[in-house]
Amino acid sequence: MSSAELIRLYLEEQREVMARFPVDDLDRAAELLFETHRAGGTVYGMANGGNAGTVDHFLCDFKHHPFVSEDKTRPLPASVPRLRFVNLCGSPAELTGLSNDLGPEEVFAGALAPFVGPDDLVLAFSGSGNSANVVRALEVARAAGARTVAMTKGDGGKCRALADVCVVVPGTSTFPGQTGGNDNNFHFEDMVLSINHILVGLLKARVAGSLA
């Protein structure tokens, strides 16, 4: 196939993913986010690889964007409750320290366990749904009574049973780099960022009182 044909293939597959996206599940996830904000809880985000970088994007957007004016020129009054967000992928020192001391499967769970509670929300991103460090952290979150949302693809893996809401990105791909065991991974990662923007926009509307 030519480069132009592959570009069209990618975009066609992406449109199919969006057409089949589980909107109702994401709507349920948004409600858990709203509950966490109302309760004054903390959102904890975690992922591996490139998605860990997107979790840093979540941190920036969730902490700030819903709490400024529409044109972003001024903050909302201090009386408007903010949302606390913790990026469990954010500190190389913490990640490597916990990996060295507790083992790589415990890096997120070890950071989460001393702090997470029933008012909080844990957001987990794993393409396979079986990433050992993500699965362990979800187990810790459930034991603490926290709300849990996972985003996966394929059959949802172990995360499906551990999360209050599991948003499974649909589809399959024949685009180079996301076939076989890596099936649909580029589209999954695209949708992680899309979900960030959707949830941030919904929270902004809820904070502004404009969400029905």
- 51 lies in some domain: yes
Mean pLDDT across 19-33: 98
- 73 lies in some domain: no
- 181 lies in some domain: yes
- 22 lies in some domain: yes
Q: Is the pLDDT of residue 211 over 80?
A: no
- 183 lies in some domain: yes
**Which single residue is written with the structure tokens 């990996």?**
99
Poorest-confidence range of 16-20, 118-122, 176-180, 185-189? 176-180
- 74 lies in some domain: no
Q: Which CA distances in Å does 132 have to 46, 136, 209?
A: 12, 6, 39
Q: How many structural domains are present in the chain? A: 1
* Residues in Cβ contact with 15 at an 8 Å cutoff, skipping those fewer than 6 apart: none
* Tens-place pLDDT, residues 67-123: 999 988 999 999 999 999 999 999 999 999 999 999 999 999 999 999 999 999 999
- 157 lies in some domain: yes
Give percent of the chain above pLDDT 70: 99
Q: Is the pLDDT of residue 210 over 80?
A: no
Quick check: 29 and 165 in contact, CB under 8 A? Answer: yes
Looking at residue 209, its pLDDT comes to 87
Measured distance CA(173)–CA(176) in Å, rounded: 9
Task: Give just the sign of the alpha carbon dihedral 119, 152, 156, 22.
Answer: positive
What CATH number is given to the structural domain containing 36? 3.40.50.10490
- 152 lies in some domain: yes
Q: Is the pLDDT of residue 180 over 90?
A: no
Q: Is the pLDDT of residue 174 over 70?
A: yes
Q: What residues make up the domain containing 51?
A: 3-68+79-208
